[in-house]
Chains A and B, each alone.
Chain A
Amino acid sequence: MSNYRDIAWQGLWKNNPGLVQLLGLCPLLAVTATLTNAIGLGLATLVVLVGSNVLVSLVREFVPKEIRIPVFVMIIAALVTCVQLLINAYAYGLYLSLGIFLPLIVTNCVIIGRAEAFASRNSVVKAAFDGLMMGLGFTLVLMLLGACREVLGQGTLFDGADLLLGDWAKGLTVHLWQVDTNFLLAMLPPGAFIAMGFLIAVKNMIDKQLEARKPAPEAAPAVTRARITKVS
């Protein structure tokens, strides 16, 4: 069981794809201008990641080592196409606002990275769990970044949630404060880079504090006697 806990810890914090591996930066920086977009893209990536990990793990015995990468890419591309068609059908507004970044999930290095590094070497259940945790870790970073940028940029949260969830979600939009002028920097890619830097700094700070709080391993009692005759 501790194995699964380790996988979760790796995906969500220690080896987080967004904050530590810095994989998939292109969608991470491009579509996180609002929380809704971030959630949409995060969930799409999560679904693809779990699916690709499961499929890759299933076929791992039958794929020759030499052609594994093309096979993985085709599996991922097929899954991404499914997800893209689904979003097109059920959340058309979100489909429009995510634009090119939806099909570009194919090139997201998190997915091919996990397929190669984990799924192709582990059992199906473990691979699925790893995909779920890595996907969650990625989605959480996307959401955090999206929330920061949306609050800074236009003073709202969940703006346009109806694109993702349907008309009832219009009430979800929270106006934290009224701004006359949007803070454009936060909504443009440079703002995403700066916010990302601050997020990584915060994570490193937390890590450092955790490290400091951990009791130092007890040093072996130093022996001061010149001659040791008997050690109990």
Chain B
Amino acid sequence: MAFKLASSPHLSTKAQTRGLMFKVMLCALPGVLAQCYFFGWGTLIQIALAIAIAVATEAAVLKLRARPVGKTISDNSAALTGLLIGVAIPALAPWWIAAIGVVFAILVVKQLYGGLGNNIFNPAMAAYVMLLISFPVQMTTWVAPSGAALNDIGLMQSLSIIFQGADAEQILAYRAGIDGVTMATPLDAVKTGLSTGLTLDEILTKASFSDGFGIGWAAINLAYLAGGLVMLKLKLIRWQISTAILASLFVCASIGYLLSPDTHMGPLMHLFSGATMLAAFFIATDPVTAATSTRGRLIFGALIGLLVYLIRSFGGYPDAFAFAVLLANLCAPFIDYYVKPRAYGHRASR
């Protein structure tokens, strides 16, 4: 067995926030591209809009707070928040949805608490929850994914719908599936289906589930999963949170599915629909608002998985990652306090 020896100088590059955030954004690219493929130009427009407003708001607030503007802006954290919000809101939502959400995220959730590193809540998710509570109609109006959609939307059309608004009929036309019936997101369809007394098998016979998981959403989740694995490989994030989320969601969903397969979604469907992969790899792993100890991260992730399962299955909203992440953010300092390793020599019991 040979020990590898490296001679001096032992140079190493220092990881900086700026590069880290930029790499995270790059890793989100496959997911973003998949989303663009299925939901059209709207996604890209929303992302561009959200990033622009995020950077502008951050600059304005920093100026007000008399902090160095250029240096802080270039850490890319505002841009990442913008990207996450742009991805999370429906592709054809009116422009002011993105604007209000991003300003709330940067101004209230992040800068009022003291800027990057001091915020308690994940800015993107807090903004998403705010938007979802304030504008439930706009925030749940997803267009039909391409491949299942009746009408395709071009770039100019997307622009005009986002910036000038569209009447209800137009929106309805873009939400129509091949069979002409308005399509909901898979999680939404399951939730409404179950509430009207259908069994899961009956719901899954609808056109939007022709590939078993809901057209588009499974592929988008796979793309985010790929990006997430790259992040793990590059050591941009630690494995504990993501793994714990997916494992706990899988276990909870399996138990529910085994107990009552007619009224509960299967575990794979939980993992590959909605925002699961995006949230597990890109949102919950935010180093500022997540738990920071190793065991703490595991508990933090498991808590998110459990909450997501509970809210998706028994709550009022079809998807639950934003709520789960915020609730877990609240618990993070508490979790870290109790899993602190005992200093050597102290008594075992506290």
> Which A residues fall within an 8 A CB radius of B?
181, 183-186, 188, 190, 194
Chain A nearest CB, measured from B110 CB (Å): 14
- Residues of B close to A188: CB separation below 8 A: 133
Q: Which residue of A lies closest to B108 (CB)?
A: A194
Partner-binding segment picked from B19-27, B134-142, B289-297, B338-346: B134-142
**Which of B133, B137, B138 sits near A185, CB closer than 8 Å?**
B133
- Residues of B close to A186: CB separation below 8 A: 134
Q: Are B108 and A185 in contact (CB under 8 A)?
A: no
Q: Are B134 and A184 in contact (CB under 8 A)?
A: yes
Q: Are B133 and A181 in contact (CB under 8 A)?
A: no
Give Cα distance in the complex from A190 to B138, angstroms.
20
Provide a sorted-by-A list of 16 A–B residue pairs whose CB atoms are within 8 angstroms.
Answer: A181-B135, A181-B137, A181-B138, A183-B134, A183-B135, A184-B133, A184-B134, A184-B135, A184-B136, A185-B130, A185-B133, A185-B134, A186-B134, A188-B133, A190-B133, A194-B108
- Residues of B close to A184: CB separation below 8 A: 133-136
Assuming A181-B135, A185-B133, A185-B134, what are 13 further A-B pairs, CB within 8 angstroms?
A: A181-B137, A181-B138, A183-B134, A183-B135, A184-B133, A184-B134, A184-B135, A184-B136, A185-B130, A186-B134, A188-B133, A190-B133, A194-B108
- Residues of A close to B136: CB separation below 8 A: 184
> Which B residues fall within an 8 A CB radius of A?
108, 130, 133-138
Chain B nearest CB, measured from A230 CB (Å): 49
- Residues of B close to A185: CB separation below 8 A: 130, 133-134
- Residues of B close to A194: CB separation below 8 A: 108
Task: State the 4 A-B residue pairs at the shortest beta-carbon distance, nearest first.
Answer: A185-B134, A184-B134, A183-B134, A185-B130
Give Cα distance in the complex from A186 to B104, angstroms.
13
Chain B nearest CB, measured from A33 CB (Å): 14
Q: Which residue of A lies closest to B100 (CB)?
A: A183
Chain B nearest CB, measured from A3 CB (Å): 39
Give Cα distance in the complex from A83 to B130, angstroms.
37
Give Cα distance in the complex from A186 to B108, angstroms.
14
Give Cα distance in the complex from A185 to B136, angstroms.
11
- Residues of A close to B134: CB separation below 8 A: 183-186
- Residues of A close to B108: CB separation below 8 A: 194
Most buried by B among A183, A185, A186, A194: A185
Chain B nearest CB, measured from A208 CB (Å): 14
Most buried by A among B133, B136, B138: B133
- Residues of A close to B130: CB separation below 8 A: 185
- Residues of A close to B133: CB separation below 8 A: 184-185, 188, 190
Give Cα distance in the complex from A194 to B130, angstroms.
12
Chain A nearest CB, measured from B163 CB (Å): 15
Q: Which residue of A lies closest to B130 (CB)?
A: A185
Give Cα distance in the complex from A99 to B224, angstroms.
49
Chain B nearest CB, measured from A138 CB (Å): 26
Give Cα distance in the complex from A194 to B138, angstroms.
23
Chain A nearest CB, measured from B93 CB (Å): 11
Give Cα distance in the complex from A183 to B138, angstroms.
12
Give Cα distance in the complex from A68 to B135, angstroms.
50
Give Cα distance in the complex from A183 to B130, angstroms.
10
Chain B nearest CB, measured from A192 CB (Å): 14
Give Cα distance in the complex from A194 to B135, angstroms.
17
Chain B nearest CB, measured from A176 CB (Å): 16
Chain A nearest CB, measured from B94 CB (Å): 9
Chain B nearest CB, measured from A185 CB (Å): 4
Chain A nearest CB, measured from B63 CB (Å): 16
Give Cα distance in the complex from A183 to B134, angstroms.
5
Give Cα distance in the complex from A123 to B10, angstroms.
81
Chain B nearest CB, measured from A62 CB (Å): 51
- Residues of A close to B138: CB separation below 8 A: 181
- Residues of A close to B137: CB separation below 8 A: 181
Chain B nearest CB, measured from A38 CB (Å): 21
